[in-house]
Structure 1
Amino acid sequence: MNHRSKMIGALLAGGTALAAAVGGGAPAAAHPFGPPTTARVVVDGSRVDISWQPAEDDWVALGQSLGAFEDPSAGPVATQLTGEQKLQQSAAVRDYLRERITVSQHGQPCRGELKPLDGLLAQGARLTFDCPAPVRTLDITLTALTDLNQAYRTILRAESASPAETLYTAAADTHQVDFTQSGGGLGPATALAFGVGAAAVLGVLLVLLSRRRTRSTA
């Protein structure tokens, strides 16, 4: 872990240090020109699960912009809570995530629920959506962080879907993801297991055939 990561981790662990570092200033800790934020979507019937996981310093910038942290120059700073806990308890942060991570099916919004933000630094923000019908295609919108800086990008990874990875930007914040492209085919692990099993059966057949030929010759 480099010095920058250690510093950000310390800020999020300590409420006073965090408030003093970010209160009243610009979100300089953010890194919109670094690696893209990541998100993952998993579909099960009509249910959709999305996890969105920005870097720690982006959580700092987001919390600062939404007023999750106190401004030391405006009054006392609560020291009983860590920076992560202040993010978890912020109604503004929760509303922001609900508004900027959305899913729709055939033009109809899927009803979303933000899960508790426990362990958000390790697990990210997790949302569950209930769609009107079993999912085939979805329009997924991700606009988080681009209001802070339009250079932010998010890569969405979708299991058993096409495309498997989608890049979200300020100019392209909604994409359609097709979950029918797998076509019931074998996944890598299943295909490997099938291949190993088929090879074993073929090996047994070859042994039996060889024995049969040996007996016939004798």
Structure 2
Amino acid sequence: MNYRILAGVLLASGAALAATIGTVTPAAAHPFGPPSLARAAVDGTRVDISWQPAEDDWVALGQSLGAFEDPTTGPVATQLTGEQKLQGSSAVRDYLHERITVSQDGRPCRGELKPLDGLLAQGARLTFDCPAPVSTLDITLTALTDLNQAYRTVLRAESATPAESLYTATDGTHQVDFTQSGGGLPPAAGLAVGVTAAGGLGALLVVLSRRRTRSAA
């Protein structure tokens, strides 16, 4: 069975979810497939993180947290899609808050989970407010590893060192340095170089102009 296709059907259709949710378990997801992708960006004291697992992993996570009703124990709301049930689950929101965290110098940054609209397309998006302007952070990503230790997440951080980090069940926190710009000169140095270059070019133009004037005379 192609669980990726089945997961897409479950999340898009309430009726399909009601009929077949019992056939998909955490083991039926793909912990041994490609890792989930997360992205991080900073702006002053703010940190934005998005986490986007595959659709079948969302199904496995929703099942484990009780976001979907069990058709063997009671009625199932078929007017809602699987994605809508994930969006409305307080257990899913609490889980994301617990498993995706940021700290600065040992102090946690206050996190806020954005509305889960467009969950499948955009993933879970969180914003963290840190006590001071961001330089070095400890970022923790342990989502899904409680379901299966084979799950991994790759974090891609903008203008940071390292640019990519691999999160696993045994290595769920990485320190990321956002003071590195990946090479080049600091803004002030770049400005100084630009001014020097402009001044040198101006002097060269004056010399050439004088030479032409003398030649004409």
Structure 2 match to 1:195: none
Where structure 2 has 5 or more consecutive residues not aligned to the other structure, the ranges are 191-196
Superposed displacement of residue 16, structure 1: 2.6
- What is the percentage of aligned positions where both structures have the same residue? 82
Report SS of the residue matched to 1:81: coil
Letter aligned with residue 18 of structure 1: L
Task: Classify the secondary structure of the residue corresponding to 2:28.
Answer: coil
Deviation at 1:10, TM superposition (A): 1.3
Residues 94 and 61 of structure 1, relative CA distance in 2, 3 Å threshold: same
* Alpha-carbon distance in structure 2 between the residues aligned to 1:141 and 1:155: 12
> Counterpart of 1:34 in 2: which secondary structure?
coil
CA contact (8 A) 1:162 1:181 kept: yes
Q: TM-score, normalised by structure 2?
A: 0.83
SS at match of 1:57: helix
Give 3-state SS (helix, strand or coil) of 1:176's partner.
strand
| Structure 1 residue 7: Cα displacement | 2.8
- Name the counterpart of 1:84: 83
Taking a change above 3 Å as real, the CA distance of residues 184 and 42 of structure 1, as seen in their structure-2 partners, is same
Q: Which residue of 2 aligns with 1:142?
A: 141
1:39 and 2:30 aligned: no
Correspondence 1:1-218 to 2 at 5 A: 4-23=3-22, 26-182=25-181, 185=184
Q: How far off is 1:95 after superposition?
A: 0.3
Structure 2 distance, partners of 1:163, 1:25, is 36
Quote the offset at 1:24 in angstroms: 7.4
How many residues of Structure 1 are paired with residues of Structure 2 in the alignment? 203
Any unmatched runs of 5+ in structure 1?
Answer: 192-197
* CA positional deviation for 1:181: 1.5
Alignment check: 8 A CA contact 2:3 2:56 kept: no
Q: Which amino acid aligns with 1:110?
A: C
Deviations 1:109-168 (A, max 9, x none): 000000000001000000000000000100001110000000000000000000000000
Equivalent in the alignment of 2:193: none
User: Structure 1-normalised TM-score?
Assistant: 0.83
Report deviation, 1:18.
2.0
User: How far does residue 97 in structure 1 lie from its aligned partner after superposition?
Assistant: 0.2
Q: Does the Cα contact within 8 Å between 1:137 and 1:178 map onto a contact in 2?
A: yes
CA contact (8 A) 1:37 1:55 kept: yes
Larger radius of gyration: 2
Q: 1:57-103: CA deviations, max 9, x gaps? A: 10000000000001110011101100000000000000000000000
CA distance in 1, matches of 2:185, 2:91: 43
Separation of aligned partners in 1, 2:122 and 2:24: 27
- Whole-angstrom distance in 1 between the partners of 2:22 and 2:94: 21
The two structures, once aligned, show a CA RMSD in angstroms of 2.9
CA contact (8 A) 1:23 1:69 kept: no
